Amino acid sequence: MPVPLASGMRPRFFTPAEVAAHNTADDLWVSFLGKVCDLSPLMTRYRGDILLLPIMEFAGKDIGSWFDPETKDILKHVDPLTNCVRYYTPRGRFVHVPPGGPCSDWDSDTGQPWWRDPGYEVGLLTAKARWIRVVNTLTSQEQQLEVCSEETLAEILQRYLRYNGHAHSYTWKHNGAILDMSRTLVQNNVPDNDRELEQLRLDRDLYVPSILLHFNDDLTEA
């Protein structure tokens, strides 16, 4: 399980599909305002509370529509009954959102609301997920990977380790050029042509760029 982001560390990026995989009450992630948050501890803390229902409904999904991108807070509106400014929660009030009026069972001392608490953050949502083909030239095995456009090749290698535990023993190339593992795909001149292919109405699956892995044979001594 990912841990909350530590100060000074490069954030980990996640694809929407990775967020969507965490869609149960015991393992619940959401994304919003570019962040990915693991709300599982929140679900445990308030287990059985009806105010969890709106969050559970959107388990594994993006809830950016709940927020004002400028204030980074829940959207607000003027309540037509009271003419007071209230949080706008059309899916129902949820944890840490105060009630619309006086309420005897409302604990106002909740501390920092979960959407402002960095302790729940596990990474960032990629601005663009893309697919690549990783081809092992030694074994002719091929694996398609969905990766984040912001990731370096070294970070993509970490994704690939589940398929080849010896991935560090290979040189990664594209179009004959050795890739700089500290740079992203685009920085290594591996273009993302999804938009152009979509405009041309061509099947993107037929034009997935390939990364070739060449085994490093270091047995030079007889």
Is 148 found in the same domain as 118? no
Tell me whether residue 103 is in a domain.
yes
Residues 37 and 92 in one domain: yes
Domain end marker among 125, 148, 178: 125
Is 173 a domain residue?
yes
The answer on 53 and 77 residing in a single domain is yes
Which pTM does this prediction carry? 0.85
Q: Which domain holds residue 171?
A: 129-215
pLDDT per residue of the chain (222 residues) written in tens, 0 to 9: 555 555 557 789 999 999 999 999 999 999 999 999 999 999 999 999 999 999 999 999 999 999 999 999 999 998 887 778 889 999 899 999 988 765 655 566 667 899 999 999 999 999 999 999 999 999 999 999 999 999 999 999 999 999 999 999 999 999 999 999 999 999 999 988 877 757 767 666 667 899 999 999 754 443
Pick from 80, 95, 125: which residue ends a domain?
125
In this structure, the answer to whether residues 25 and 115 fall within a common structural domain is: yes
**Residue 28 domain-assigned (yes or no):** yes
pLDDT at 191: 87
Residues 176 and 119 in one domain: no
CATH number for the domain including 42? 3.10.120.10
CATH code of 174's domain: 3.10.20.90
Residues 66 and 146 in one domain: no
Same domain assignment for residues 64 and 106: yes
| pLDDT at position 5 | 53
- Could you tell me the two tokens for 37? 């948050």
* Residues 96, 138: Cα–Cα separation, whole Å: 55
Q: Number of folded domains in the chain?
A: 2
2 in a structural domain: no
